[in-house]
Amino acid sequence: MEKIQSAIAKARATRTGTADTAPAAGRAAPLPELPQPLEEAWAALPPLTPDLRRLEKNRIVALSGGQDAISIDMLRTKVLQMMRANNWKRLAITSPSSGCGKSTIALNLAFSLSRQRELRTVLCELDLRRPSLARLLEITEQHSMARVLEGNASFADNAVRYNDNLAISTNAGVHRNPAELLQSAAMSRALGQIEETYKPDVMIFDMPPMLVSDDAMAFFPNVDAVILVAAAETTKIKEVDSCERDIASQTNVMGVILNKCRYMGPEYGYNYYE
């Protein structure tokens, strides 16, 4: 309990700009205090203290901003504008085939959003066949997002907190029948409870690829929008077309990201800091 109280005090100090770690210059106006139970729920999540260098090796670069995070920050702002304009909250990230960069983008987007201090973001591992968020974050606990979705484990015992406004729920094992779970009533209830307790402004779901199983399609009716990630020189146009059509039959296509581009024109390589 004491731990939670001290975490709340720390989180409040950070939010109101009175913590030792708060930047001295350019300090924003104090944020409104959160209602106590909400603050307690967030403070009770165990903190994640990632090793920035190790994350960078896995291309997770959006924790502290700066030049490396520019392209993901631009994506964040576009995503936020679309989510706000349409009153969307739940966003899935998928791709036609595996290895296009979904998890890398989902994590970077979540960290980039976490730098918007007034926003709360929840990132959930929903690739239950080949989960990777725990590995990317070097979380060794045997977390199971599948059990949370089944209603057999609490989100609070499964998620970690980065700063006071990003919760990440990972999955350590491999689930045998994700598609059934991902369209079950229990799963829908579990997501509703997470929203009710943590009141995220944005909920991001890291999905499996669409062309290898029906998991993603089974889940899409539960989200407001989907980002489709294509890999340059690998993903075929007809795969993008067919996946876009399938997504559009269930929910909104927010857009397609062309990832892993090796050749960029000078208009994209512009170095603002030079």
Ligand X SMILES: Nc1ncnc2c1ncn2[C@@H]1O[C@H](COP(=O)(O)OP(=O)(O)OP(=O)(O)O)[C@@H](O)[C@H]1O
260 binds, among Mg ion, ligand X, none (CB under 5 to 8 A by kind): ligand X
Quick one: CA torsion of 14, 15, 17, 21, rounded to 10 degrees?
20
Residue 258 tokens, joined: 């062309």
In the complex, least distance from residue 37 CB atom to Mg ion, rounded to whole angstroms: 33
Site string for ligand X, 187-216 (x = CB under 6 A): ----------------------x-------
127 binds ligand X (CB under 6 A): yes
Site string for ligand X, 230-259 (x = CB under 6 A): -----------------------------x
Of 20-28, 29-37, 102-110, 115-123, the segment contacting ligand X by CB under 6 A is 102-110
178 binds ligand X (CB under 6 A): no
99 binds ligand X (CB under 6 A): yes
Residue type, 227: I
Return the DSSP state at 24: S
What CA–CA distances, in Å, run from 127 to 24, 98, 179, 207, 208? 41, 11, 10, 5, 5
Q: Please say which residue, 7 or 145, places its beta carbon nearer to Mg ion.
A: 145
Q: Please say which residue, 71 or 193, places its beta carbon nearer to ligand X.
A: 71
234 binds, among Mg ion, ligand X, none (CB under 5 to 8 A by kind): none
3-state secondary structure of 4: helix
Binding residue (CB under 6 A) for ligand X from 14, 132, 144, 169: 132
Binding residue (CB under 6 A) for ligand X from 8, 41, 104, 114: 104
Total chain residues near ligand X (CB under 6 A): 16
98 binds ligand X (CB under 6 A): yes
Of 91-99, 187-195, 217-225, 248-256, the segment contacting ligand X by CB under 6 A is 91-99
Of how many residues is the chain composed?
274
Which residue's CB atom is positioned nearest to Mg ion? 103
Nearest to 117 by CA among 6, 22, 3, 204: 22
What CA–CA distances, in Å, run from 168 to 13, 47, 164, 232, 248? 22, 10, 12, 28, 27
Q: How far is C-alpha 262 from the geometric centre of its chain's CA atoms?
A: 25
10 binds ligand X (CB under 6 A): no
The interface with Mg ion within residues 127-146 (CB under 5 A) comprises 132
Neighbours of 102 (CB within 10 A): 26
Q: How far is C-alpha 203 from the geometric centre of its chain's CA atoms?
A: 7
In the complex, least distance from residue 260 CB atom to ligand X, rounded to whole angstroms: 4
DSSP string spanning 162-220?
Answer: ETTTEEEE---S--S-HHHHTTSHHHHHHHHHHHHHH--SEEEEEPPPTTT-SHHHHHG
Binding-site ranges for Mg ion (CB under 5 A):
102-103, 132
Binding-site ranges for ligand X (CB under 6 A):
58-59, 95, 98-104, 127, 130, 132, 209, 259-260
